[in-house]
């Protein structure tokens, strides 16, 4: 249940929010949930069972492997354990849902490897013991990372530029009834100023530089984690970049090499 807000408090947009409607002050009509076909549910259940163990056991095994790879943040590991990744991939790929691999989710996009998701979330959460505050995600994709972050943050704003993926994430997340996740359809390069300032910003697409809008919307004391093209080599390569915003200015640290889809502007 959404907490009661005192009189005069500006209401946050609900789930899912749509930027083109919010700009004109019009609240979006609630979407009618569509029940997945029984055949899809049966196929998913059979596929998970085909892994030789139930979903909970497979997730625990995945998290144990993440710990072996060097992920030590207990909140990250707990969140990764808490979200069923197979619910966010196509039924034909569900047998691979708990492998440390990226998988196609349509429209030329992918769901990131569990190892990459947990690494970025650990960097974002570094220096904290409890939950983060309000966080902005650039690139909702299928909604998996937003679901994981919902267990680590007080509020998650997640923006997606592709209508098809925005709708898919909304459907994927509906069963979880996450009142602290707000899905937005719009240009992620512009961020989402109405929810700012953010304690953290995380991006699932890489560009030549971190957009200034993201820096502006990051709170002092906040951290941004994003893939960015690095060096002058051809073809250009991506590296994870951590940006810390302090009272004295911006501190940027380049981490390991990664591979994400390109960051693009506009909506489609």
Q: Under a CB-based contact definition with an 8 Å cutoff, are residues 142 and 111 in contact?
A: yes
Q: Which residues contact 39 (CB under 8 A, 6 or more apart)?
A: none
Respond yes or no on whether the N-terminal peptide bond of residue 16 is cis (omega within 30° of 0).
Answer: yes
Tokens of 198: 């953010």
Q: Which of 112, 118, 150, 158 is catalytic?
A: 112
112 is catalytic: yes
> Cα 106 to chain center, whole Å?
16
Q: Rounded to the nearest 5°, which phi and psi values hold at 135? A: -130, 145
> Shortest CA distance to 221 belongs to which of 134, 146, 155?
134
Q: What are phi and psi of 145, to 5 degrees?
A: -65, -35
- Phi and psi at residue 228, in whole multiples of 5°? -140, 140
Backbone angles phi, psi at 24, to 5 degrees: -100, 10
Question: Catalytic amino acids?
Answer: 112
């Amino acid at each position: 249940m959404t907490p009661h807000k005192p009189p005069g408090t500006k209401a946050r947009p609900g789930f899912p929010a749509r930027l083109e409607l919010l700009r004109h002050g019009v609240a979006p009509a609630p979407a009618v949930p569509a029940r997945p076909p029984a055949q899809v549910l049966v196929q998913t259940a059979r596929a998970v069972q085909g892994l030789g163990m139930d979903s909970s056991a497979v997730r625990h095994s995945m998290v144990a492997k993440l710990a072996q790879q060097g992920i030590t943040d207990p909140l990250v590991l707990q969140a990764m354990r808490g979200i069923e990744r197979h619910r966010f991939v196509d039924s034909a790929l569900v047998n691979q849902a708990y492998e440390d691999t990226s998988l196609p989710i349509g429209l030329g996009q992918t769901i990131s490897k569990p190892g990459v998701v947990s690494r970025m979330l650990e960097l974002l959460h570094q220096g904290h013991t409890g939950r983060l505050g309000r966080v902005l995600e650039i690139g909702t994709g299928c909604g998996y990372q937003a679901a994981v972050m919902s267990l680590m943050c007080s509020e998650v704003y997640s923006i997606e530029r592709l209508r098809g993926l925005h709708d898919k994430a909304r459907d994927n997340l509906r069963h979880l009834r996450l009142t602290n996740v707000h899905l937005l359809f719009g240009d992620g390069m512009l961020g989402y100023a109405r929810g700012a300032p953010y304690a953290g910003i995380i991006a699932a697409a890489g560009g030549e530089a971190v957009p200034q809008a993201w820096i502006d919307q990051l709170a002092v004391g906040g951290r941004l984690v994003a893939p960015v093209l690095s060096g002058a080599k051809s073809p250009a390569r991506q590296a994870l970049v951590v940006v810390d915003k302090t009272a004295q200015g911006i501190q940027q640290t380049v981490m390991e090499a990664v591979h994400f889809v390109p960051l693009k502007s506009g909506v489609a």
